Amino acid sequence: MGSTYGKIFNISTFGESHGKAIGVVIDGCPAGVKFNEEFIQNELDKRKPGQSRITTQRKEADSFQVLSGVFEGHTTGTPIALVIFNEDQRSKDYGHIADKFRPSHADYTYSAKYGNRDYRGGGRSSARETAARVAAGAIAKEILASVGIEISAYVNQVGKLKLDKSYQELDLSQTYSNAVRCPDATMAEEMFNYIDETRKKGDSIGGVITCVAKGVPAGWGEPVFDKLHAELGKAMLSINAVKGFDYGSGFDGTELYGSEHNDAFYTDQDGKVKTKTNHAGGILGGISSGEDIYFRVAFKPTATIMKDQDSVNEAGDAVTVSGKGRHDPCVLPRAVPIVEAMTALVLVDFFLRSKADKV
Amino acid sequence: MGSTYGKIFNISTFGESHGKAIGVVIDGCPAGVKFNEEFIQNELDKRKPGQSRITTQRKEADSFQVLSGVFEGHTTGTPIALVIFNEDQRSKDYGHIADKFRPSHADYTYSAKYGNRDYRGGGRSSARETAARVAAGAIAKEILASVGIEISAYVNQVGKLKLDKSYQELDLSQTYSNAVRCPDATMAEEMFNYIDETRKKGDSIGGVITCVAKGVPAGWGEPVFDKLHAELGKAMLSINAVKGFDYGSGFDGTELYGSEHNDAFYTDQDGKVKTKTNHAGGILGGISSGEDIYFRVAFKPTATIMKDQDSVNEAGDAVTVSGKGRHDPCVLPRAVPIVEAMTALVLVDFFLRSKADKV
Amino acid sequence: MGSTYGKIFNISTFGESHGKAIGVVIDGCPAGVKFNEEFIQNELDKRKPGQSRITTQRKEADSFQVLSGVFEGHTTGTPIALVIFNEDQRSKDYGHIADKFRPSHADYTYSAKYGNRDYRGGGRSSARETAARVAAGAIAKEILASVGIEISAYVNQVGKLKLDKSYQELDLSQTYSNAVRCPDATMAEEMFNYIDETRKKGDSIGGVITCVAKGVPAGWGEPVFDKLHAELGKAMLSINAVKGFDYGSGFDGTELYGSEHNDAFYTDQDGKVKTKTNHAGGILGGISSGEDIYFRVAFKPTATIMKDQDSVNEAGDAVTVSGKGRHDPCVLPRAVPIVEAMTALVLVDFFLRSKADKV
Amino acid sequence: MGSTYGKIFNISTFGESHGKAIGVVIDGCPAGVKFNEEFIQNELDKRKPGQSRITTQRKEADSFQVLSGVFEGHTTGTPIALVIFNEDQRSKDYGHIADKFRPSHADYTYSAKYGNRDYRGGGRSSARETAARVAAGAIAKEILASVGIEISAYVNQVGKLKLDKSYQELDLSQTYSNAVRCPDATMAEEMFNYIDETRKKGDSIGGVITCVAKGVPAGWGEPVFDKLHAELGKAMLSINAVKGFDYGSGFDGTELYGSEHNDAFYTDQDGKVKTKTNHAGGILGGISSGEDIYFRVAFKPTATIMKDQDSVNEAGDAVTVSGKGRHDPCVLPRAVPIVEAMTALVLVDFFLRSKADKV
């Protein structure tokens, strides 16, 4: 019972990796939003498999259908149902792991929790579900864009390869110009080669995505539990393979003194309250400050590898999980649009919640 | 509207730093839980101010009253209201910052959001609110203890001082034996001195808390959004001054290959499915695996420092925020019981939610 | 943002009368429930249009597809998506009312609320949406049946024709044996003729449905707001055309003295606590008592009639809404399975919630 | 876990009849609302016991304290905690029923559900809890008044005594001028005498309250489940002793033809869309139409009577529940402000929700 997210802009996703379809119902999207099918498809295309040789070769067009909630090109305020029928199901690929627990996958824990488990391709635990989030996130992005908010994520680290530049030093419009989704061309090439070598070895590798949201006005976020960064953290951690989240100065900031870390306020020439530095990451006390919001998301190496591994089966017997099938040697490139989508879903919900702040 | 947490074990906290009282209403605590006032008070005492010279000298007994939900020593299943009346309010301490935005505090963002702001001691944004969480968390701990779960947090890092041992190498029963709440006596002393020097300089410092939950059975957590680690992350990030969260291998794990990172399953002598390593941090696909759950929580340096700082006031004019009043030079020691409490609140909610997993 | 229902067994319905499809996502259905497609279809068939000459002649097979959440004949604990594609859309039927507000329909209020409105057949406000509820309700019924609960609704009144018998005097197995859904054959015939005459006059008529739930154990319901009868009331009032709800002695009981109305407790031969009378309708203080739960649901006459009516259009000009198209002269017969479905959805949610009542 | 109500203006009530205190936490009240303590107390005074000889003689000043959420006379947007300490607890009054199930009270069902039960005065099931609702409702009323909404409830029926006038024929400003809370002076006197005679006989009697909300703009309510009348129904049914709810034409409307029942639209001289009749009760399709909202609430006779009654105890043995203690022979007079408060709580929540309807 955890497949819904959002208090007002409320999404419910459904679907398994190799079931009939995946999709999402959005209950609480305001009426009158221009519905841009092309933009949604474009977002889905950024996430879809088979885009380069460093992503899984599963073939899915990921084209979606709108079942409800849209009329004459605009949202009507009623639930929007979007569905993507699965095409390349190839369930036969999974017969060999039907009763085996793949290491570091969710097979065992789903089994422990539910008993009854759709083992094909990870079933519900597959990252395939995130296509539904990207579709919903695209609508959220459109609403946010209409109030001047832009969200940009990019790959900041792959394995030990780290981009040694802050987001301000990068041209974020270049992120989607390469298969890795790193806005720095030189580093993108290095990362590509590194991932490709990892792939050839039948192995996988982790990394870090950085995300920036510009244009968020001061005042969004709902302390004390639904702090803006707490919901961003939850949303990011809900993405497959994510192991960590920090914002602003994050883990690095723990080594600083307060006198170094505090962001001094000043008033700019337009009379707007600003801060000289932004260790806060655009969020103070769980509420946006009007400065850029930025955060990092840590991804573990893909659990699926092309090597034999020791494991057990449902009966508890020792078995070998052999490395075959299709997989992403590094989930980061395809995760970039997912991070953006989840960010948009969090922000749009706080945008709508903020409307009730004052009488 | 974000002061409630939990789907079944639902808490609503209230209260400002220098208002009449703070407290919590728990709606959804099961009936029949032994109500141990002494244990709750003991937990509150771990968090209360004035415990040593490295914590704020504000005087608060933090003794609580039970207003409802308990009868003849047990919970009745009806809402439990706990209240702590504020004693040492000293609002006059705050006249000098009534219309000033203290750097890296939430004064400005609360003002931007709500207009009307209780400026005394940070009002609602004060960490004083967390006493209510600790009280509620104590009840959650009691329920969890009854099913064999033990939660232990400790200070792992202060500034650049890092404990270079895993939790398995430590005697966690020693955590509360010192003022810093670090279970390693040597490191605890170093940290104490470091914090004390920082205090003398009128400055503050950040750090990292590690938390371990032992005994959680396989099967808790609700994918795809309410994953166990996603809720833990949200809960930790909702604590004042927290800037980051990771679990298991976390950010460090991003540098590993899948073949290094994957945790191989085996069956132990009791027929229980176990993993040889635990990079997963006890959580796979958002569901507990039965292994130890462990995670890290990053805290920024306290925003209040005893130095003059540049800022602006409500009118936008440049002002100086002078360093006076009382503060914690390092929030970590007092945050240890808060981290434990929030962990307990997350786990107890998933425990109750898990009861509806299967017919 | 009001298209979801249920705290644990949570449903989200979507779809418009003449859109591409209607459907439902169930998040929170326990794993391991036998998934009986035939039973679901059978329930849908009871609600579908075109069953007799006293119901609308719209042609819809109302056959559903399962998109997710079911594997090898059982639920998996993950979201279950069911979808019914609309067949007989005939949008052209609605061109004549595109900008007119049909009297006692929701055209005007949807327009006032959302601006952007799908006018075809009432769009989201059409009772077509209730097919999704019936499908979800069928699954709820299966779960409840497995713990011995049976839900039976029937038509008790049509216009001034009232069945002067309590539910105990009726053979509820006969309800679906006739087109009216009244278990008393004589009254069913009278009602049928009355509705048919009303239809011939181009008019419509209201009525009352009674519903009985047998086998609900003592202890379900969540005071003080989510009382069992309060949720039943909400659920019934959420059905199209419903104007009132009462349970047990209901409105009639207001005329009684306490000494007449109170239900005396006794212990039966099996040691079970019972009441001699059941004015309470099986619910005391918002919690089931173990006695039969029974209640009444009042339906207004269908707003669509085959007569010309005065109204206004979007511009505010006086217009005539002419009586054409297809409609149900009396919604009661087709509402019987809807009342049962909503009852099941309320009960299954309280069943699952009750699992967390005690430690 | 059912003691919270409201999606945005979210209240959590707590407290038992003879516990230390009752109270409410409001999470989601907008900032900047003028906080009128006198008005809140005045509303509480309308509900408090001991106002005349036809109400219970329990002595409670019902004076409240504000613990949080208010600063310098206005709400701050943070949780507002209001508490009323119980004064006249007289727990000894209840020793004689400690293990007995009083007929038509919630003793048995609370016992069945929770095991552990505070038997003193009904504990949580006592109507004393509604004082907390009235306090929260007073704040809701203030917000609604600021947008031109007025809520008026009154006693329409006591036993068989029915006021044969519509609300339009009454001067609703006279409701609180008498102890019965019936705006018609002649009927009020009849009702008073009838209740007083019932009291002298040691018996109790039920009745009906009508409530009217004027000034609600078109567009409030959230189909398909959270329809305006569905939430009103739930809210009313959540009040102690309520057995039924209908709105607009209600149960009576079931006997009408559509051609009689439909409300024709017209445009008034100000260009506002209005209806000639209002069988709809101001709500179409679950959304307010701009017309007056009106509904009826049915109350059963008070379960407590001054007569001996047959019952059983916790052990299942036959016992006599003797009639002693204090009680209301008719709950209607004191329920009038409760009905108004719950109406205000429903409306204010939809007001805040409606802010997110459109972009």
For the cut 90, the answer to whether the pLDDT of residue A51 exceeds it is no
Omega before B224 cis (within 30°)? yes
Query: What is the rounded radius of gyration, in angstroms, for the C-alpha atoms of chain A?
Result: 21
CA atoms within 13 A of residue A26's CA, in its CB half-sphere = 28
A292-314 tens-digit pLDDT: 999 999 999 999 999 999 999 99
For the cut 80, the answer to whether the pLDDT of residue B96 exceeds it is no
C12-43 tens-digit pLDDT: 999 999 999 999 999 999 999 999 999 999 99
E strand segments, chain C: 4-5, 10-15, 21-27, 65-68, 70-71, 74-75, 80-85, 150-158, 161-162, 207-214, 242-247, 265-267, 273-275, 283-284, 287-288, 293-299, 309-312, 318-321
A-chain residues near D144 (CB < 8 A): none
A-chain residues near B115 (CB < 8 A): 358
**A-interface mutation test, from C78, C126, C351, C355, most A Cβ less than 10 A away:** C78
CB contact D320 to C (< 8 Å): no
CA dihedral (D284, D286, D287, D292) in degrees, to 10, reads: 60
D77 to A357: CB separation less than 8 angstroms, yes or no: yes
A259-283 tens-digit pLDDT: 999 999 999 999 999 999 999 999 9
C-chain residues near B355 (CB < 8 A): 355-356
**Cα A309 to Cα A318: distance, rounded to the nearest angstrom:** 11
Q: Tally C-beta pairs within 8 A across A and B.
A: 379
State residue B60's pLDDT score. Answer: 83
CB contact C117 to D (< 8 Å): no
Q: Which spans in B115-262 are helix H?
A: 130-146, 185-200, 228-237, 258-261
Joined together, the tokens standing for residue C350 give: 């309280």
Confidence of residue C93 (pLDDT cuts 50, 70, 90): low
CB contact B256 to A (< 8 Å): yes
State residue A327's pLDDT score. Answer: 79
State residue B52's pLDDT score. Answer: 86
Question: Using CB atoms, which chains have 3+ pairs under 8 A with C?
Answer: A, B, D
Which residues sit opposite B100 in a β-bridge? B313
How far B169 CA sits from the closest chain C CA (Å)?
34
Residues 186-215 of A with CB under 8 A from B: 198, 203-208
- Of A322 and D220, the structure prediction assigns the larger pLDDT to D220
- Which one, of B105, B108, B80, lies nearest residue B13 by Cα? B80
Query: What is the rounded radius of gyration, in angstroms, for the C-alpha atoms of chain C?
Result: 21
What's the one-letter identity of residue D181? R
Closest Cβ opposite residue C115 in set D112, D243, D358: D358
Task: Kindly list the distances between the CA atom of residue D333 and the CA atoms of A310, B316, C338, D330, in Å, as whole numbers in the listed order.
Answer: 74, 54, 37, 7
Closest Cβ opposite residue C109 in set D129, D218, D264: D218
Closest Cβ opposite residue C116 in set A28, A71, A79: A71
Lowest mean pLDDT among A231-235, C91-95, C246-250: C91-95
Asked whether the beta carbons of C195 and C180 are under 8 A apart, the reply is: yes
How far D358 CA sits from the closest chain A CA (Å)?
5
B-chain residues near A316 (CB < 8 A): 267, 271, 273
A359 to D7: CB separation less than 8 angstroms, yes or no: no
State residue A220's pLDDT score. Answer: 98
**Could you give the 3-state DSSP secondary structure of residue A353?**
helix
Residues 19-58 of B with CB under 8 A from D: 19-23, 25, 27-28, 31-32
State residue D269's pLDDT score. Answer: 95
CB contact A144 to D (< 8 Å): no
CB contact D124 to B (< 8 Å): yes
The chain B residue lying nearest D83, using CA atoms, is B67
Closest Cβ opposite residue D78 in set B31, B79, B124: B124
pLDDT tens per residue across all 359 residues of chain D: 899 999 999 999 999 999 999 999 999 999 999 999 999 999 999 999 888 888 887 788 899 999 999 999 999 999 999 999 998 766 566 777 789 999 999 999 999 999 988 999 899 999 999 999 999 999 999 999 999 999 999 999 999 999 999 999 999 999 999 999 999 999 999 999 999 999 999 999 999 999 999 999 999 999 999 999 999 999 999 999 999 999 999 999 999 999 999 999 999 999 999 999 999 999 999 999 999 999 999 999 999 999 999 999 999 999 999 987 777 899 999 999 999 999 999 999 999 999 999 98
Mutual angle of helices B130-146 and B332-354, in 10-degree steps: 50
ipTM of the complex: 0.98
C76 to A12: CB separation less than 8 angstroms, yes or no: no
State residue B89's pLDDT score. Answer: 65
State residue C28's pLDDT score. Answer: 98
**Could you give the 3-state DSSP secondary structure of residue D121?**
helix
**Cα A114 to Cα A2: distance, rounded to the nearest angstrom:** 14
The chain B residue lying nearest C147, using CA atoms, is B359
C312-328 tens-digit pLDDT: 999 999 999 998 777 88
Confidence of residue C95 (pLDDT cuts 50, 70, 90): confident
State residue B91's pLDDT score. Answer: 59
CB contact C355 to A (< 8 Å): no
State residue D92's pLDDT score. Answer: 64
For the cut 70, the answer to whether the pLDDT of residue A89 exceeds it is no
For the cut 70, the answer to whether the pLDDT of residue A258 exceeds it is yes
C-chain residues near D137 (CB < 8 A): none
**C-interface mutation test, from A9, A11, A13, A14, most C Cβ less than 10 A away:** A14
State residue C90's pLDDT score. Answer: 61
Asked whether the beta carbons of A277 and A212 are under 8 A apart, the reply is: no
A25 to C28: CB separation less than 8 angstroms, yes or no: no
Asked whether the beta carbons of B244 and A251 are under 8 A apart, the reply is: yes
CB contact A123 to C (< 8 Å): yes
Joined together, the tokens standing for residue C313 give: 């259009």
B-chain residues near A352 (CB < 8 A): none
The overall longest dimension of chain B from CA atoms, in Å, is 70
Lowest mean pLDDT among A52-61, B42-51, C46-55, D228-237: A52-61
Lowest mean pLDDT among A81-85, B297-301, C117-121: C117-121
Q: How many residues does chain A have?
A: 359
CB contact B229 to A (< 8 Å): yes
State residue C264's pLDDT score. Answer: 98
Closest Cβ opposite residue C114 in set D264, D265, D357: D357
Confidence of residue A320 (pLDDT cuts 50, 70, 90): very high
C204-252 tens-digit pLDDT: 999 999 999 999 999 999 999 999 999 999 999 999 999 999 999 999 9
CB contact A1 to B (< 8 Å): yes
**Cα D329 to Cα D148: distance, rounded to the nearest angstrom:** 36
Count of beta carbons in the 10 Å neighbourhood of residue B341 = 30
pTM: 0.98
Asked whether the beta carbons of C243 and C335 are under 8 A apart, the reply is: no
A184-220 tens-digit pLDDT: 999 999 999 999 999 999 999 999 999 999 999 999 9
State residue C295's pLDDT score. Answer: 98
CB contact D7 to A (< 8 Å): yes
How far D140 CA sits from the closest chain A CA (Å)?
11
A243 to B227: CB separation less than 8 angstroms, yes or no: no
Domains of chain B: 4-357 (3.60.150.10)
A-chain residues near C20 (CB < 8 A): 65-68
For the cut 70, the answer to whether the pLDDT of residue B288 exceeds it is yes
Asked whether the beta carbons of D329 and D199 are under 8 A apart, the reply is: yes
